[in-house]
Structure formats: structure tokens, C-alpha cells
Structure 1
Amino acid sequence: MARSGRRDGANERDHRIRPAAGRPARVLAHIGCRALCVRTTWFRAVSPLYGKASVTKKRTGEPWISAADYGRLLPPFSVNLLVRNIETSLRFYREVLGAFVHYADVDFGALKIGGAEVQLHADHAYDAHPWYPRLAGGEARGLGAELRLLGLDPESIEERARRLGVKVLKPVTERGHGWREVMVEDPDGYVWAVGMLSEPEKAR
């Protein structure tokens, strides 16, 4: 079921994972500080990353907007993560990092975390991609990359992560590059380093 509500005073709509059945709905999507009302009329199964029309879908019904329309709304830089299970990942991103979910189904999620636009694709949606055999083989994900995000309270994130049993790689620390940050790992092994600017005298 969908749950509508406000967050931080913004009139946004939070879509839980659900089959998008019934008539297409008018949705208000806040992407990159731009709002666009879109009436969904149809959807092609086209990956926004590599354009194949043969990606595997498990959802029923129609998504919020077409892949092409969504791609046009994205900022110049965004993050796309391949995950084993969308619902499991969403729990982490909502409850630990405080993500706002523009839309989610069993194949795909569109999130905003702080000022960053993040996409989640289930592994099965990439079964025609050269990465898929390595994903299916259980190869480690995310090693060597830090997803760094400024503007989130690290103490709150560490507290939520520990309460929910999420792996904390490094507790809140004042770092020499001027951030007070925490490092947490999502269910698929992607590492987020999030925090605030340090007070100048505390940076070391």
C-alpha cells in the first residue's frame, strides 16, 4: 500500500513496495530540487543505464513514470546500486539513512538521501548485463568505494544502525579532512560515509 505524508515540510509522496496495479496515477516527484507532475500512460522495460528492452521485470502493473522520463529528471551525477532484495535494502535506507522513497517496486527503487539521488536495481533486472554472472556467483560488492554524503547527523545514524543491527565499520570520528563522520554498511556491502563538517579546532 502507498503511504502519503510530509517530510521536512515538503509535499512528497512515499511509495512502499507494491504492485502498481490499476489506473495510472498522477504523481509529484521531487528530483534534483525540481518538481514535475507526470501522468503515467505506459512503460517500456528499458534499463536507464544500457538501454536493453529485454530486462527482467517481476512487478505487475505500471511504475510511476517511464524510464525515459525518470532519466531526464536525474541530476548530472547520481548513484545506481545493484541489490539482492529491494525491500531489504529499502529498510536500511529508510530507517538508517532517513531516505525519502520517490517510488519502489520489486525491481527498482528511486530514493533521495540528503541531497543525493540514488537508484536501486534488483539483480534480476540486470540479468542481461555482463555483470550478472559475477553477481549471481556471490562476488563481493562495493569493495574499494565509499559513498560519501555530507549533511546527515552521524551520531543519529550510528545510534539507529546499532539499534537495528546494521554493521558500523567505523564509529563517529573527527577526521582530518574536516568531517565528523560515521561509516555504515548496507545489506549488500555498499559503504556509506556520512556526516557533518567538523568544528575547525576538532579536525585532525
Structure 2
Amino acid sequence: MTDITIVPKLVAAGADRAIDFYQKALNAELIARYTAPDGSVVYSELTVGSSRISVKDEDGTDRAAPTVGGSPVILTLEVDDADAVANRMLDAGASTIFPVDDRGYGYRQGRVEDPFGYQWIISQRTEDLDTSEVQQRLDSAAP
């Protein structure tokens, strides 16, 4: 099998503002940005740690998350310090969905929504558990 990499493309009403947000909130580095004759961003690529994301302006084909009632995709950031990353995202304009807290299944996690309608789980591993231990903890926590 050939090597496969997934690069999510985030469509935004205001791609340049989104690029700026990701640079501030996630320390993303812009590595490519291409525009149409009208100046709209048709493709950009940013590195976020060892990952990449793409951002483009909304157009007649590609719709931003708020235009379609929100995105059904939730992005996860695996980080060393969930609190610091959450605070940086909030300072840059994100809003809290779930505050960062210790979860019983071996992670410290929270969820934020960025100003462009995309939700991000900020996840920091706190325990090394195997899959059966995680399931056991989830089962015991169920109401």
C-alpha cells in the first residue's frame, strides 16, 4: 500500500482571517497560498506541528461550516499541554464547547469552536491505557 496522508481542507468565509487565526492559535506556519484573479484564496497550506491543513475561501462550490449549519467533522489536536493550547485558541477568538479537564479514560481534553465554525478537541494523554481498560472505564462511568 502506498503512504497516505490526510490533509483536511477548511473552507472559511474569510480565508485570510482563518489563516491568521491558525497562525496565532496553533503556531501554524503558512507554506503556500494561491489566489484567484478576484483575490480570493483558492488554496493555502499550513503546517501545524507535524500535520498539515488547507484553508480556502468559501465559493459557489465549497461552503463554509456556518453556511451549511456547522461541520459534522471534529478535528483533534494531540498535544503535550492541553491547557496551554486551549488558552491560546481562546485568546485568538475560539469559544469553549467543553472546558479542558481530566477525563477518566487517560486523557486531559477539552473542545473549542474556532471563529470559522470548526470544532477542535484538544487532547493530552495522561495515562497509557490499552483499549480494554479505556472501554472498562467508559462502561463504569456510564449513567
Q: Normalising by structure 2, report the TM-score.
A: 0.70
Shift of 1:175: 2.3
**23, 27, 42: which is aligned to 1:98?**
27
Aligned equivalent of 2:56 = 121
- Give the alignment's Cα RMSD to 1 decimal: 2.7
Deviations 1:7-56 (A, max 9, x none): xxxxxxxxxxxxxxxxxxxxxxxxxxxxxxxxxxxxxxxxxxxxxxxxxx
Equivalent-residue separation in structure 1 for 2:79 and 2:103 (angstroms): 15
Q: CA, structure 1 residues 77+200, in 2 after alignment: closer, same or farther (shift >3 Å)?
A: closer
Unaligned runs of 5+ in 2: 35-39, 138-143
Q: CA, structure 1 residues 163+188, in 2 after alignment: closer, same or farther (shift >3 Å)?
A: closer
Q: Equivalent pairs: percent with the same residue? A: 22
Deviations 1:124-172 (A, max 9, x none): 3xx2x3x55xx5x932231x32111212521112222333342121111
Q: CA, structure 1 residues 162+151, in 2 after alignment: closer, same or farther (shift >3 Å)?
A: closer
**74, 78, 81: which is aligned to 2:10?**
81
The number of equivalent residue pairs is 122
Equivalent-residue separation in structure 2 for 1:114 and 1:75 (angstroms): 18
Matches within 5 A, 1:130-145: 138-142=67-71, 144-145=72-73
- Is contact 1:151–1:195 with CA below 8 Å preserved after alignment? yes
Unaligned runs of 5+ in 1: 1-73
Specify the SS of the correspondent of 1:81.
strand
> Highest Rg: 1 or 2?
1
- Is contact 1:141–1:188 with CA below 8 Å preserved after alignment? no
- Is contact 1:88–1:187 with CA below 8 Å preserved after alignment? no
Shift of 1:111: 0.8
The structure with higher relative contact order (CA 8 Å, sep 6+) is: 2
Please identify which structure carries the higher helix content.
Answer: 2
